[in-house]
Amino acid sequence: MREWLEYAGAWAGLKALGLLPRPAARAVGVGFAEAAYALRPPLRRAAMFNLRLAFPEWSDAERKRVIRGMIRQVGWMAGEFSQFPKYTRENIQRVVVVEGFENFDAARRRGKGVLFLTGHMSAWELAPFAHALLASPLHFLVRPIANRRVDALINAYRCWSGNQAIDKNRAARAVLRVLAEGGTVGILSDHNTGLEEGVFVDFFGVPASTTSGLARIALRTDAAVVPGFLHWDERMGRYRLCFGPALELVRTGNEESDVVGNTARFTRVVEAYVREHPDQWLWVHKRWKTRPPGGKPLYSL
């Protein structure tokens, strides 16, 4: 019964937002995001702790300003997500502008596949969706939602533009197949990972357990790693999806050393985008939760 109620709630919420004009859907989304943040003390504690860790020189007033911006971005993303069935190749450019596409195209033409390095910036769900409409569909890694019906509903919206989801827990073989066929795989690489999945590299000067899968796959397949991040441009009143040049891989012959070195480089790219647009990154996530063996926990329960 609970599973059905969760599904019914998610379905009704998406449908209701989707019936609204885009500005109204975004405004309602912000209201939901503000309520969720206000009602969840752990989210508030994590956001403020993370910002103190990343920007120790800031005042709490500056950190609260960034948090308000983050809440707005998350709320807007909920609104945008509900509008996905309305977006087409003809109208998506009113919402998203792509810059640096020549970098992605050059990487794709190498013929060894592309690993789309991205993170939880702004309306991150919109980035692969718009890419599929403006260029070509891609595959992306997702962590399954416990409620299978809700998971199917969310993925149906994500894949409305032709994209395909890959279960993160069973990703290796599928990712290798897509890359062998010259396809693209999007990977969010800015969240905490467990000890068995990650390596420790600095993020804002603090060791953070970071997925090693991106570096391992890139080293094994020679697929191009292309950074692509979405952010909201207030002046333009649109989102900008910006692709950078493919990142050159470090190859010393020592596989484990190369995995750490390349993961560190990828993470520096993510950090640079977060520093440039701090109010558009998801600060409520416990990015530094996993600690090295014997390390002291950073977050209180």
pLDDT tens digit string along 90-115? Answer: 999 999 999 999 999 999 999 999 99
**CA pair distance 186, 208, nearest whole angstrom:** 21
Mean pLDDT, residues 50-79? 98
pLDDT exceeding 90 applies to what percent of the chain? 91
**CA pair distance 204, 79, nearest whole angstrom:** 31
DSSP state of 247: B
Task: Say what the pLDDT of residue 5 is.
Answer: 64
pLDDT tens digit string along 105-154? Answer: 999 999 999 999 999 999 999 999 999 999 999 999 999 999 999 999 99
Task: Say what the pLDDT of residue 7 is.
Answer: 78
Torsion of CA 9, 10, 12, 15, to 10 degrees: 170
pLDDT tens digit string along 280-289? Answer: 999 999 999 9
Rounded to two decimals, the pTM is 0.95
Task: Say what the pLDDT of residue 4 is.
Answer: 76
Cβ contacts of residue 149 below 8 Å, gap of 6+?
Answer: 3, 4, 6, 7
Task: Say what the pLDDT of residue 8 is.
Answer: 78
| pLDDT band of 3, cuts 50, 70, 90 | confident
Torsion of CA 30, 6, 19, 82, to 10 degrees: 60
Lowest average pLDDT, out of 158-172, 205-219, 233-247, goes to 158-172
Task: Say what the pLDDT of residue 1 is.
Answer: 60
pLDDT score of 10 more than 90? no
- Yes or no: say if 276 and 230 are a contact pair by the CB < 8 Å rule: no
pLDDT score of 218 more than 70? yes
pLDDT tens digit string along 162-178? Answer: 999 999 888 899 999 99
DSSP state of 188: E
What integer best gives the mean pLDDT of the chain? 95
**CA pair distance 229, 240, nearest whole angstrom:** 8
Alpha helices in 228-296 (DSSP H): 255-276
| pLDDT band of 301, cuts 50, 70, 90 | low
